[in-house]
Structure 1
């Protein structure tokens, strides 16, 4: 497009005829010759007006038949005595279509803010799909399970500085908590060794020490995490500082799930009240539902012999001075059984009941052994007879020298301690299979602690062994033939074969030919249970007694108890057995109280 004609005089306006017309372009309103008349010389300025050529019309717009929009002209400012050119009406601009907002419709700005809140809430959910989570660990989780750092699979772990400070405060002493704190400190020291600052910021691989299941990274708090806490919460408290770290991490990483893991119930409640996700530590739980815990007993279906008795074989053997009948059966019900599990069938037609124990399993074939009837007086154990089916199963396990590890569960009054003590006295003083009975338990008080106890180790453990003293009185009842001297001699003999030991001094010991009874085993952690069971030497039998509904140890639940742990891990082993006692035999008052209270 050719350029317009240059002005001939200073401060003169360009006329419309000086601009060549573009084809298809709209005419641009320019001043006429009268309007563009030169001003008087005295008012003329020496500054020449700057004229800017309009932008050329685009070829594509011309092809489509659209008018090219003229560019704005920069016109020099006229003196005050020169009349301004008349304004022309501009073409009306098309207005955007406005949709009216209803009165009950949400405001657009408010709706947008609501979407942001929803996005922030979704990022806090623990089940974010396709992303790894960041778990912030409380101190009690590490002191409860020293290996908890490696239990989060592909997810990352974050340790606040206050968690490390609390670990340092609890590392002194000989308690289980102090030992766990020291073990965690050693593990962290091994992880951070030979690590530079960049690696600390990027995260330390948790698989560094050989834990292949831990695929995440470990992060430490390396800077001050600032977050607003609700008014009224003390800023200097350790739990509140950890909550502030969780809130700060959530703000720094809005697209990632940041979850607090704590064994402290009140801390989890405070976290949820602040809108922070918090969870309990469930990795140490053996079972989610304790109703699914292995009971050691199963009832056979009514048509068991019809489906499994076609090719049945039977024979008799004499083991340990007892004649037993063995059955080899094959059928579809066999794969659901376990070795040393008790089976029973009580027909309603008046036939004799069938009680047996699974001795071998090979595919769909099993060998069943009939039981000895300890409910009869001729088979009594130290004067004690079985009062129900479960007690008969328990005595068959307790009197079997091939069973090295036995667990008995049951509510109060089911006879756990009495059966164990009677079986121990019979095998120590009568059959002499074992040298002595060792009794131990966890010293966790039900109410307020009464303080330090005087005396030796056995004297200190005496108040904790009141249950055994009560059962010994029942077992020492005499018919009066020996008189007072005979009863006193019997009690002295029994006392000489029963040793009471504390759990605090069990580490490093080895028990050979001992009958070890662990009472109140539900208060033991899995690590403590492992420490005790591994003390067994040749010829030693270990009994674990307890009621998982009466746990007094802090941070232990029915699913994470050491007793639940060993019941689940030892099921199916040929040299272990388990029975859950269901019926109370202490008194009608105790049975009724267990049901209604």
Structure 2
């Protein structure tokens, strides 16, 4: 199911519709409400679906809101653990050239996930929950062969998965679990010519019952206003080169 934010509302009516207490996410340190129509659609999808894809540009809150929902459900006892993962692929870098042991090599790739956790929970709670296994932050490769039950799973930067990795990740879902897959198809760092698992999954699963796809746009960017303009400029440039429209077709 592909979902996009409605564009009929404007001004104060749109603000009122977005900032809904019914969609508030409560953690130990934050009480979050959606700040854009796309975020509203996303939070509703997180509440209603066991598997959600959040696809769109940086700064739209895809990972942050997913982490907030995961922490909220953990505190409520709806899940027993949180698993945060991303593929260890970044622009122009390879793990083998980084100093240190395996944990030290992969830590820079996982740091944004830690940052989100520390925004949601006191540092002492993050440390204790990491220590006892209630929260796990690990590279995607560590997920192979596992069945993730009673868990809230977030796969971040999913545009950098291969099709094989994406299929492996999606099939880890176990009983009483939820999975959120986030990514930006304009920032693929895979080797040239390598297909993106996120792009393939969007084509295969977009109409599957129980799976929600939320497409963010530049209008949902909640960072500095300049970021919104940058995102729009790059989107226009990419569209002029490829002639391709939005992943899920024209906005409704």
The TM-score bracket by the shorter chain reads 0.7 to 0.9
Give SS of 2:32's match. Answer: coil
**1:520 matched to 2:171:** no
Structure 1: unaligned runs, 5 residues or longer: 1-293, 299-343, 354-372, 477-486
**1:375 matched to 2:19:** yes
Match of 1:491 in 2: 126
Give SS of 2:153's match. Answer: strand
**d(CA) in 2 for partners of 1:587, 1:509:** 39
**1:296 matched to 2:18:** no
Give SS of 2:25's match. Answer: coil
Match of 1:592 in 2: 229
Match of 1:285 in 2: none
**1:545 matched to 2:182:** yes
How does 1:8-23 map onto structure 2 within 5 Å?
none
**1:440 matched to 2:147:** no
Please say if residues 151 and 177 of structure 2, whose CA atoms lie closer than 8 Å, have aligned partners that are also in contact: yes
Q: 1:426 to 1:564 in 2, by over 3 A?
A: same
**d(CA) in 1 for partners of 2:168, 2:24:** 34
**1:405 matched to 2:51:** yes
**1:509 matched to 2:146:** yes
**d(CA) in 2 for partners of 1:489, 1:440:** 21
Q: CA shift at 1:536, angstroms?
A: 1.4
**1:462 matched to 2:107:** yes
Q: CA shift at 1:574, angstroms?
A: 2.4
Q: CA shift at 1:453, angstroms?
A: 4.5
- Structure-1-length-normalised TM-score: 0.34
Match of 1:392 in 2: 40
Cα deviation, 1:164-215, whole Å, max 9, x if unaligned, reads: xxxxxxxxxxxxxxxxxxxxxxxxxxxxxxxxxxxxxxxxxxxxxxxxxxxx
**d(CA) in 2 for partners of 1:595, 1:345:** 17
Q: CA shift at 1:512, angstroms?
A: 0.9
Please say if residues 511 and 537 of structure 1, whose CA atoms lie closer than 8 Å, have aligned partners that are also in contact: yes
Cα deviation, 1:210-251, whole Å, max 9, x if unaligned, reads: xxxxxxxxxxxxxxxxxxxxxxxxxxxxxxxxxxxxxxxxxx
Alignment match of 1:536 (pick from 167, 173, 180):
173
**d(CA) in 2 for partners of 1:518, 1:585:** 21
Give SS of 2:78's match. Answer: coil
Give SS of 2:66's match. Answer: helix
Q: CA shift at 1:415, angstroms?
A: 0.8
Q: CA shift at 1:498, angstroms?
A: 1.9
Q: CA shift at 1:510, angstroms?
A: 1.1
Q: CA shift at 1:466, angstroms?
A: 1.9
Please say if residues 163 and 196 of structure 2, whose CA atoms lie closer than 8 Å, have aligned partners that are also in contact: yes
Q: CA shift at 1:379, angstroms?
A: 4.1
Give SS of 2:144's match. Answer: coil
How does 1:63-462 map onto structure 2 within 5 Å?
295-297=2-4, 344=6, 346=8, 375-377=19-21, 379-382=23-26, 383-400=31-48, 403-429=49-75, 431-449=76-94, 451-455=97-101, 457=103, 459-462=104-107
Q: CA shift at 1:469, angstroms?
A: 2.7
Q: 1:510 to 1:347 in 2, by over 3 A?
A: closer
How does 1:39-54 map onto structure 2 within 5 Å?
none
Match of 2:237 in 1: none
Match of 1:563 in 2: 198
Give SS of 1:542's match. Answer: strand
**d(CA) in 1 for partners of 2:145, 2:209:** 27
- Structure-2-length-normalised TM-score: 0.77
Moved more, 390-399 or 462-471: 462-471
**d(CA) in 2 for partners of 1:519, 1:555:** 21
Give SS of 1:538's match. Answer: coil
Cα RMSD of the aligned pairs, angstroms, is 2.8
**d(CA) in 1 for partners of 2:9, 2:86:** 41
**d(CA) in 2 for partners of 1:491, 1:571:** 34
Please say if residues 51 and 178 of structure 2, whose CA atoms lie closer than 8 Å, have aligned partners that are also in contact: yes
**d(CA) in 1 for partners of 2:67, 2:21:** 18
**d(CA) in 2 for partners of 1:346, 1:595:** 20
Q: CA shift at 1:543, angstroms?
A: 1.2
| Structure 1 or 2: more helix by fraction | 2
Give the aligned length: 223
